[in-house]
Structure 1
Amino acid sequence: MTDLEAPLVCSLLLQAPPGEFAQVVRDLQALVRDKELLRHEAARAGAQRSKSHFPPVRINKHTVLVTHYNDLGGNCFFDPQDKLSFAFDHLSRVAGKYRLHDVLLDEGELRKGALHKDLEAYVSRHFPASNCCVFQKNARKTQIFMACIEAHHYQPSGCWNEMYVGCCLFHFRIKETMPFPFSQFLPELQVNITNIRKIYVIYSQFLNTKQ
């Protein structure tokens, strides 16, 4: 693979339809002679796609989303339910190398648990084949909760696939006994709809609504 071929291969991998990344990698194996560089580009593109597509992974009978919000670096991610870190293979989509991850059990953890429970009830009613996760971080005197939703409907034998990815950010004042009225509500929406016979559409929008 030449210096010109590598960016082209990476671009093709990043444009793979939802749920078909592995198939595109297999197809490129028939076209690209340098298998080692292909694996390198596939791993790099897979890591980039995962953080925006929120792929679900099963851990201890529950589902965790792989996102940039729970990225610990080095292809390791945080499971907010079991308080574990795990390694994630972006090509096979398999988790492993589980380790305990220290988390402070404070009021923020209680809020996150309550938000996750309500979010699960919401997505089960409105999104078929859906998964969700809630992540938390502190910034100065504000708690920020990231509520992430992933829903998909893949039909490899049909003519189209679809994927929905959404994320809402909630900001709370830390020292308030009651949650601060959503001072910032930042919904981020990405919808990928693929119709192989006609068109491939990616829609992404970021809204900032202050109340």
Structure 2
Amino acid sequence: MNARRVLLGASLGVLLLATAPAPESEGANAEQAPPDRGVSASAPAEGPSGDTVAVAPPLNLEGPTLWLARAIYSETKLPHEQELVAWVVRNRVETAYRGRRTYRAVVLDPYQFSAFNPGAAKRARYLRLQPEAPLLRWRQALWVARYVRHAEGRAYRPFPVETRHFYSERSMRGRAVPYWAERGGFVAPDPGRYAVDERRFRFFKQAS
């Protein structure tokens, strides 16, 4: 068991990053097209769960972590996928992609993350999410976001800082592959650390 799993697993008291059956991702796209070319995907709504008793939200949660958690929770409910998406968001912040230098600005950058697109059906729902919401996978997302924001050292990075894009084949059914994906730059996270179904998430670096 590597240090990454120990640190995040210990935070929750459970090992979140183990492979699990994959539900449909809910957003699964960074760098979205405008509405007429946009992408949507759906997942079952998550109701309150008694299991949240065992997963309390982090204490003294900072605003940037909350914004990061909202973004990754909107994209997928699986913690190991949330971690990878979180690194894409962090990379965008650290490289000031499209001039956005904060987590809030990156998440709300128009047509970059589908759940936060102007007019998106679930935008208001995700914007209202607070740490105390009694949703197990939401609280897991809070811990994942906290871990990724504060992880230090190259060993914790799943891919280069230039990795700032992803898309989901499943959520692109019947639609064209993003233009930036056709230019190459595909990045495969270390299979020894991550079990990622490429039909759900594909990551790219140095895309414009």
If the length of structure 1 is used for normalisation, what is the TM-score? 0.26
Answer 1 or 2: higher relative contact order, Cα 8 Å, separation at least 6.
2
Computing the radius of gyration from Cα coordinates, the structure with the larger value is 1
Q: Which has the higher strand share?
A: 1
Q: Which has the higher helix share?
A: 2
